Amino acid sequence: MKVPPDDRTWCEISTSALRHNLRTLRRGLPRKVRVLAVVKDDAYGHGLIPVARTLNQAGCEEFGVACVAEGVQLRQAGIRQPILVLGSTLPFEFPLALRHRLTLTLSSLTEARELARTARRARLPALVQAKLDTGMNRLGANPVEFSELLLFIARQPPFKLLGTFTHLACADSNPAFTRRQLLRSSLLPKNLPLHWANTAALLSRLPFASTHARPGLGLYGSNPLARSSPRLKPVLSWKSRILVVRSVARGESISYGATFRAPRKLKVATVATGYAHGLPRSLSSRGHALIQGRLCPILGRVTMDMTLLDVTRLPSARRGQEVVWIGRSGSLTRTAADLAREAGTIPWEILTRIHPALPRHIS
């Protein structure tokens, strides 16, 4: 992609990588399994509308969003496939969801009763999926309540039950816990669509017994498993520019709090990215970026809209030059997982905290 001439910090989104990842995650699935692509939270920071449109064109059958507002955005962008609101919906959001034919997650009889009243008043069908809690303890009905919830839904004319599902809490890290969750998921009715297979489950090749796959992180090219698995391609690159290059004498402090002192004479680049853009402050004096294919350490604290890098080994470093936080520079590549390890967090957080106002250039 041609470097945008007028951006200080920006993201580049590869639709070819996105399509590749969808194909990769489909491999090995039974032919009739449908993909419910998780595009919640602005498609993990990649841009909800362009990502959903690309996946739609690539044959993705259904979509999952975090809330009603995201579902409405997809409808207004022309997405006609089923859209499941994965989170809990509040009563004031019900009318909008009903008008846009969004499928709502029900985790309790309280939610079901509230939605039934709204649907009857609106004289509109309520598309729903019932969620079973198998150990996540976030959303979903427990096994006893789940049976009651299904019975209540079956007796209410406004409801159209389109499926059931659960959520795996440790598919990337705890096989024993995952097996217990899958055993509990046997309560999901086999005569209805059902799903539980997230990216980690798909890449782990867990025994597949659901009608839908529900990938999230893997679509965006990040692998939640430590062990090797099918190659995914990062969809997002995050870049910035050098604002100033200066010399710092031995013993001088750098950035807020004077937490870093130069051990020798250093050449330091001030870069137009900080924690207001989504760069974690925990990367202070421990993170890195790429410039001209070289790994450059962060010096001192990450500040609100600027960060300082050691470019002593780069004599040609100059004002306006490209800096890569995530992506490729020369022969080196930095991933969201690399940044996450240095920041002490997870790739999901790195991607979703990139400020949505930053330009996303689609190719």
Cα→Cα distances 79→1, 72, 75, 311, Å: 27, 10, 5, 46
**Does residue 196 contact residue 171 with C-beta atoms inside 8 Å?**
no
**Does residue 221 contact residue 234 with C-beta atoms inside 8 Å?**
yes
Catalytic-labelled residue, pool 2, 40, 265, 275: 40
256 catalytic, yes or no? Answer: yes
Whole-angstrom Cα Rg for the chain: 23
187 HSE (CA, 13 A, CB side): 22
Query: CA-based diameter of the chain, in Å?
Result: 77
What are 144's two structure tokens? Answer: 């006893």
Catalytic-labelled residue, pool 2, 131, 233, 256: 256
Say how many residues make up the chain.
363
What are 322's two structure tokens? Answer: 């490209």
Helix axes 15-26, 48-57, angle to 10 degrees: 50
Partnered with residue 267 across adjacent β-strands are 247
The Cα–Cα gap between 216 and 198 comes to 7
The Cα–Cα gap between 211 and 191 comes to 10
β pairing state of 126-131 and 103-106: parallel
160 catalytic, yes or no? Answer: no
- The set of catalytic residues is 40, 256
